[in-house]
Amino acid sequence: MPGGGVAPIVITGTTDTSRLEAPITIRAYLICAFAAFGGIFFGYDTGWMGGVLAMPYFIRLYTGLPYPDASDKAAVKAFHLPASDQSLTSSILSLGTFLGAIIAGDLADFIGRRTTIIAGCGIFTIGCILETASTGLGLMCAGRVICGLGVGFISAIVILYMSEIAPKAVRGAVVAGYQFCITIGILLANCVVYATQNRNDTGSYRIPIAVQFLWAIILATGLFVLPESPRYFVKKGKLESAAKALSRVRGQPIDSDYIQDELAEIIANHEYELQVIPQTTYLGSWANCFSGSIFKGNSNVRRTVVGILMQMMQQLTGINFIFYFGTVFFTSLGTISNPFLITLITTLVNVCSTPVSFWTVERFGRRKILIIGGSGMVIMQFIVGIIGVTAGRASVNNHAAVSAMIAFICFNISFFAATWGPCAWVVIGEIFPLPIRSRGVGISTSSNWFWNCIITVITPYLVGTGKGDANLGAKVFFLWGSLCCLSTAFAYFLVPETKGLSLEQVDKMMEESTARHSAAWKPHSTFAEEMGLTHKGVALDAPADEIHTTIVEKADV
């Protein structure tokens, strides 16, 4: 019998809005925790390059310059990679990740979330091989782009996958686990680079690069055994597979009420969305991401714009100024003897503050913590800026003032790590309806990488002291602080509260409420009820094209 004995099951939904999900099991936590591991790629890959570019062996190999004599100040000063090469090798990763996230958003609807992540690991491995083998700029850049593609795949689709399988009560916390892994990735990269930086052989840069193979092997192997997202199967019209996958992630038998109710709700919501925006051609389905009126809170274009802005605003908080240019900035403050150590401390603060969000994101909700976090960063950055232009100026040589600046930079990192860091990812995984979800998440993630790249490219000019540079020094914190005001306003006016709702309920809430009133919205009906799936069911083995007609007819009755 097709479906190994499950064929006769007919799925019916519930009218009870509180019964849409099974109790949370340890298994559900473990599956999500494993998927969060994808964050390590993100963090590690963005973390190792800066350190490698400053390694003496690497500089000698790439430039052909001899090691300078410590007493020859001019030679020491000239011993570095040309700025254009530094900029190219750093920013070319973003090109790959930008494209990777968009392509993956597309692919995940065709080959599945899990397979797309595994493909991302494969691509990443090829890029790593090229990077490890490289002894010159050409191959290194080729490797960077290919690795970037892989990271783009993984960074977008892990969010999608986690949001789709996580139980609603802990979805925010679980996705915050991904951010935690990003921070661990950055820390690990710093530690490995720190350990190999003075080696006088190719191991100095090859070891930090090659360590990444491990991440690819672990994630790909794990995903082979994890279930696919049930929502992907519903989108494909494969209800039997959807029921099996849901039963695995929820740890309940296929014919249990929990699985039936939740699956019916996913099916009914998908059908509802298809009625609103029918899937047409391939290009038409891309165009769907931008359909509707920007002034309507639940239109697709509005959701896509919120996703794009969400990630843009996260980058414009200026957090990567600290992580990418921290060492240079701390050195410029004059009184610090070991800027690397300070960089390591800021990375550690980032790691240690992120777990706070596991609790706050579910306790206070997404909106609240984005607004609190944004306001906190405004205050911290302005304080850093004010100290920086007064008592903290390098010419004053005031240790206490510089220490205070570093302390406030660390508070700023804590605010980011507990709020905007994780929440930007949580929100983009939740606001899109199933028909455009994977592309929406892909586009939003590519916005993260786009702005990440812009910041990497422009910051050296903002704080540079050369001819034509803005030479902002600590004043740059006024810029980030002002941008954080914008981020906070964005959260207040445009980000809806999604805490505790199923993805289908989020869809309903966005239809019936506005961002500012969303926190008070309560689920009052189910899609299953609306689409007539509560009195008559849909058979699990129904062919894909029949599901639609059956449900639409029922809804019309």
Kindly report the number of other CB atoms within 10 A of residue 158's CB atom: 31
Structure letter (DSSP) for residue 332: H
Kindly report the number of other CB atoms within 10 A of residue 4's CB atom: 9
Tell me how far CA of residue 181 lies from CA of 32, 48, 187, in angstroms: 12, 15, 10
Among 147, 319, 474, 533, binds ligand BGC (CB under 6 A): 319
Q: Tell me which residue has its CB nearest to ligand BGC.
A: 421
Among 89, 346, 447, 452, binds ligand BGC (CB under 6 A): 452
Closest CB to ligand BGC among residues 123, 319: 319
Judged by CB under 6 A, which stretch of 90-98, 178-186, 429-437, 464-472 contacts ligand BGC? Answer: 178-186
Read off the amino acid at residue 154: I
Distance separating alpha carbons of residues 481 and 322, to the nearest angstrom: 13
Please give the span between the terminal C-alpha atoms of the chain, in angstroms, as a whole number.
32
Phi-psi region of 256 (alpha: psi -120 to 50; beta: other; left: phi over 0): beta
- Dihedral sign for Cα atoms in the order 119, 120, 126, 132: negative
Number of residues located near ligand BGC, criterion CB under 6 A: 12
Q: Which residues pair with 10 in a beta bridge?
A: 539
Closest CB to ligand BGC among residues 14, 350: 350
Minimum CB separation from ligand BGC for residue 158, in Å?
Answer: 12
Distance separating alpha carbons of residues 154 and 533, to the nearest angstrom: 35
Residue 317 as a binder of ligand BGC (CB under 6 A): the answer is no
Minimum CB separation from ligand BGC for residue 422, in Å?
Answer: 7
Quick one: which of 220, 264, 232 has its CA closest to 163? 232
Residue 448 as a binder of ligand BGC (CB under 6 A): the answer is yes
Quick one: which of 495, 319, 330, 329 has its CA closest to 418? 319
Judged by CB under 6 A, which stretch of 51-59, 128-136, 317-325, 332-340 contacts ligand BGC? Answer: 317-325
Residue 97 as a binder of ligand BGC (CB under 6 A): the answer is no
Closest CB to ligand BGC among residues 130, 312: 312
Judged by CB under 6 A, which stretch of 16-24, 179-187, 232-240, 487-495 contacts ligand BGC? Answer: 179-187
Distance separating alpha carbons of residues 219 and 225, to the nearest angstrom: 10
Burial class (CB in 10 A: 0-12, 13-18, 19+), 69: exposed
Minimum CB separation from ligand BGC for residue 56, in Å?
Answer: 26
Asked if residues 444 and 303 have their Cβ atoms less than 8 Å apart, the reply is no
Minimum CB separation from ligand BGC for residue 459, in Å?
Answer: 13
Among 97, 134, 163, 183, binds ligand BGC (CB under 6 A): 183
- Cα-atom radius of gyration of the chain, to the nearest Å? 25
Minimum CB separation from ligand BGC for residue 322, in Å?
Answer: 9
Among 94, 179, 212, 419, binds ligand BGC (CB under 6 A): 179
Minimum CB separation from ligand BGC for residue 6, in Å?
Answer: 40
Distance separating alpha carbons of residues 351 and 359, to the nearest angstrom: 15
Judged by CB under 6 A, which stretch of 118-126, 313-321, 364-372, 429-437 contacts ligand BGC? Answer: 313-321
Closest CB to ligand BGC among residues 410, 547: 410
Residue 353 as a binder of ligand BGC (CB under 6 A): the answer is no
Which 25-64 positions form the footprint of ligand BGC (CB under 6 A)?
46
Asked if residues 311 and 447 have their Cβ atoms less than 8 Å apart, the reply is yes
Residue 350 as a binder of ligand BGC (CB under 6 A): the answer is yes
Residue 421 as a binder of ligand BGC (CB under 6 A): the answer is yes
Helices (H), 318-365: 319-332, 339-353, 356-363
Closest CB to ligand BGC among residues 182, 387: 182
Judged by CB under 6 A, which stretch of 221-229, 314-322, 335-343, 547-555 contacts ligand BGC? Answer: 314-322
Token pair listed for 184: 């661990």
Residues that bind ligand BGC (CB under 6 A): 46, 179, 182-183, 314, 319-320, 323, 350, 421, 448, 452
